[in-house]
Structure 1
């Protein structure tokens, strides 16, 4: 899977429109479309902005590429990243109880 396909898959998993992601990443929708469709290679700055707008850092994005988590796991991990510390602690406690 190339970078553009990965961006497109993550965007769709998060139910984010191309227009919304383009605005959040400060790239044109046309450029984002070309990147997602493999017609254009993004610059480092552009890929960094797009990945950040998706809620990832470069390490997470490329590590996910090598691990290829199932889509539902990727979506769950993305949701967990959005939680604050207290929410993460509550989730951890819940999971520990659930797994007993």
Structure 2
């Protein structure tokens, strides 16, 4: 299901008009209409606002698994949902932190390979 159809389905399932959803998500009603009619693709911050307004995790509105060869695990999906809620500075800081963890694990990974 494309993002526009999914948004319309979820909005109607919650008995919301496009105006009500727009007000809750702090976006214009024309944006809701354009997305639902697939005239435009929403940006991540718009998707985040819409998912919050609908009371859903971001992954429910935009099923990432449909785009991936291997489905995401629950903890990976949660990480993406939480990441999308951060502002740009927080996202960059978190990426730096994760990179530092990954670099710290590299010697351990190399050591395990040598011992095997």
With the length of structure 2 as denominator, give the TM-score of the two structures. Answer: 0.52
CA distance in 2, matches of 1:52, 1:28: 15
Unaligned runs of 5+ in 2: 67-116
Aligned to 2:33: 33
Task: Give the deviation of 1:57 after TM superposition.
Answer: 1.1
Aligned to 2:2: 2
CA distance in 2 between partners of 1:35 and 1:62 (Å):
13
* 1:21 and 2:21 aligned: yes
2:58 alignment counterpart: 58
Structure 1 stretches (4+) deviating beyond 3 angstroms?
Answer: 60-63
Instruction: String of CA shifts for 1:31-57, please: whole Å, max 9, x gaps.
Output: 110001100100000011011100101
Q: Distance in 2 between matches of 1:62 and 1:39?
A: 17
Aligned residues: 65
Larger RCO (alpha carbons 8 Å, 6+ apart): 1
Q: TM-score, normalised by structure 1?
A: 0.59
Q: Cα RMSD between the aligned structures?
A: 1.6
Which SS does the other structure have where 2:52 is aligned? helix
Does the CA contact (< 8 Å) of 1:51 and 1:61 recur in 2? Answer: yes
Distance 1:5 1:18 in 2: 13
Contiguous gaps of at least 5 residues in structure 1? 67-100
- Once residues 24 and 56 of structure 1 are traced to their aligned partners in structure 2, the CA distance between those partners, rounded to angstroms, is 13
1:51 and 1:57 in contact (8 A); partners too: yes
